[in-house]
Amino acid sequence: MPLFERNRLRDTEEILGTDAATRALSVTVVENDFVERVYNKVASVYDWTYGPTLHPGRMQAIQRMGIQPGERVLEVGVGTGINLSLYPRDCPVTGIDFSGQMLEKARDRVAGKGLGNVRLLEMDAADLKFADGTFDIVYAPYVISVVPDPVTVAREMYRVCRSGGRVIILNHFRSPQALLARIERAICPFTIHIGFKSDLDLPAFLTQTDLKPVSIEKVNVPRIWSLITCIKD
């Protein structure tokens, strides 16, 4: 076991550095244009490919939010709007995304299901056009490992959440197990072409964002996704 741990440390040091406050979160770097193109392409098949398998985590996140009547919810990276009918109808929900094709699907869904409590806006998650403290709940389902700059996005989410509100992140992060972590790093340059980085570093992410989770739960099957709940100070 100690040998295993040493190998893991050496591998991480060589690739990303030792200091969680400064090391890169992933071996793969992407730009907004690239991500937008990927999601514009996958929009037509998204609900089939990323729908059912990732749904238990979405359901658990909604439960964990404990949404009260009238609370204002922001969903960052709303995509095709797969979560939108899960929110109570008496809560105003804002969904933002920067992929026109994904948003078009979301608009169809909102119209089809008559979700009058939902508004959809085209916006970059790293530059939210809302005043500080606008929302009671700010939620990013399966988005943080997609965006080029996860730290800026998390800081923006925190900024637009009111004091005492909830910031919720549902995402896959790199495994703490050495072998799995190596595989996740090795495949990351490929997984980015289907829309996510497989090797995002959770300890470094939390250190660099200053987020202090009140809980981190493992969700989905296999349980390799994390549901992170934070309360804003």
Ligand X SMILES: C[S@@+](CC[C@H](N)C(=O)[O-])C[C@H]1O[C@@H](n2cnc3c(N)ncnc32)[C@H](O)[C@@H]1O
Dist. CA 195–CA 192, nearest whole Å: 5
The CB-of-213 to ligand X minimum distance in angstroms stands at: 19
The CB-of-153 to ligand X minimum distance in angstroms stands at: 7
Which residue, 192 or 204, is less far from ligand X as judged by CB? Answer: 192
Dist. CA 224–CA 119, nearest whole Å: 31
The DSSP call for residue 66 is: T
Binding residues for ligand X (CB under 6 A): 32, 35, 39, 50, 58, 77-79, 82-83, 96-99, 102, 124-126, 141-143, 146-147, 195
| Cβ 108 vs Cβ 46: under 8 Å | no
Which residue, 39 or 173, is less far from ligand X as judged by CB? Answer: 39
* Cα 137 to Cα 62, 64, 76, 106, distances in angstroms: 11, 11, 11, 20
The CB-of-4 to ligand X minimum distance in angstroms stands at: 32
Which residue, 67 or 178, is less far from ligand X as judged by CB? Answer: 67
The CB-of-201 to ligand X minimum distance in angstroms stands at: 18
- Nearest of 103, 102, 105, 219 to residue 168 by alpha carbon: 219
- Encoded amino acid at 96, one letter: I
Which residue, 42 or 202, is less far from ligand X as judged by CB? Answer: 42
